[in-house]
Amino acid sequence: MHIFPEFENKHLIEEVRKKFDPLYGLVPPHITLVFPFESQMPTSRLEKHVRDTLVGVCPFPIHLKGITATLDNHLFLNVKKGNDNIIELHDRLYSGLLRGFLNRRHTYTPHLTVGRFNAETELQTALDNTESFEACFDIVVTKVASEIIHSNGESTIEFIVSLVNS
């Protein structure tokens, strides 16, 4: 499950991803809510779970700014506003039907990945290259999407659930 933000200045994110993210061109920029998992679960059952768990969640604004690195050699565009809302979506989605898929070895930190590296030296080069990246990204989150990731890395949207003002 993801948020696929449609920022007006999305091309700035894509310029960074083109240089540093091997998933550029395969998966659009996204904020992951539920990490990929394998299951024989019917789409209808998963969609019902998502719809049920998101009842009462209203659209909310997010603001992203600043690129930092992780200990596992990823480059993140950081969520500066909307963290709590995104974490709430994550927690709701990992309840019930998806509880068994939650990896508790990692603390969930909302972010948009803009780079992935095999070596620390490559990561440091990317950090140096993005040091002056000061762009801000703002939208109102109105929907959550489920995707299927194919063996070649490409993704297909499986279904979309809209957040409704209550």
Model pTM score: 0.92
pLDDT over 90 (residue 165):
no
**C-alpha of 111 from chain center:** 6
pLDDT at 166: 61
Asked about 63 being catalytic, the answer comes back as no
Asked about 74 being catalytic, the answer comes back as no
The average pLDDT across 141-155 equals 86
Q: What are phi and psi of 107, to 5 degrees?
A: -80, 130
> 30, 49, 74, 106: which is the annotated catalytic residue?
30
- What's the CA gap between 93 and 87, in Å, rounded? 10
- What's the CA gap between 17 and 117, in Å, rounded? 12
pLDDT in tens, 43-86: 899 999 999 999 999 999 999 999 999 989 999 999 999 999 99
> 2, 74, 90, 111: which is the annotated catalytic residue?
111
Task: Report the share of the chain in percent with pLDDT over 90.
Answer: 77
Which domains, and CATH codes, for the chain?
2-162 (3.90.1140.10)
pLDDT in tens, 16-35: 999 999 989 888 999 999 98
